[in-house]
Amino acid sequence: MNLNVTETTLPGVLILEPKVYGDSRGFFFESFNGREFEAVTGVSTPFVQDNHSMSRKGVLRGMHYQIEHAQGKLVRVISGEVFDVAVDLRKSSSTFGKWAGVRLSAENKRQLWVPPGFAHGFLVLSETAEFLYKTTDYWYPEHERSVVWNDPTIAIDWPLAGAEPILAAKDAAAAAFTGAEVFA
């Protein structure tokens, strides 16, 4: 197997670390292998969309989810570093309203699997960061929802060092967790 898998505090949210082959020329690794992904996650759903964003330091994107056509996301960073977060929005889950965060960077080559039923977001820690993710369903703007990044009920410990994040208008106006639409 070319993947080291680490469970987070949220069942189903996994840190995937590919085996990297390096020498004086550089490195090589498989960033995705369907058979191995299915073996470690149990998910055989094909990915239908790839997304790529670039953001500058202090940008916080999230906490996004889709109430219908919920997306599983396999996320990674190809340039820079982010603090990536998943929040469990499955009302029937023992970890409902809990979060897990992990640093993803071009250097550590970690990936995070965020299953459907979770809100997702990230904070850019480096000067810039390029973020790639695969999704298990298409983006439907009419079904997109957001939970506010600093909701006191969830209490995500963002590594902001006293600074305010840079937010999109829709993220600044996101719903409180107590008023958010969630999954059964």
CA-to-CA distance for 99 and 16, rounded, in angstroms? 18
Residues facing 51 on adjacent strands? 133
Name the DSSP class of 164.
P
Which residue is catalytic, options 133, 138, 140, 143?
A: 133
The 3-state DSSP class for residue 63 equals strand
User: Beta-strand (E) ranges in 8-105?
Assistant: 14-18, 21-23, 26-28, 49-56, 60-66, 73-79, 81-88, 99-105
Active-site annotation holder among 21, 52, 64, 138? 64
Give dist(CA 156, CA 111) in Å, integer: 20
Helix (H, G, I), strand (E, B) or coil at 169: helix
Strand partners, 66: 144
Is 133 known to be catalytic?
Answer: yes
CA 6 – CA 15 distance, rounded (Å): 5
**What are the backbone angles phi and psi of residue 41, rounded to the nearest 5°?**
-110, -20
Catalytic residues: 64, 133
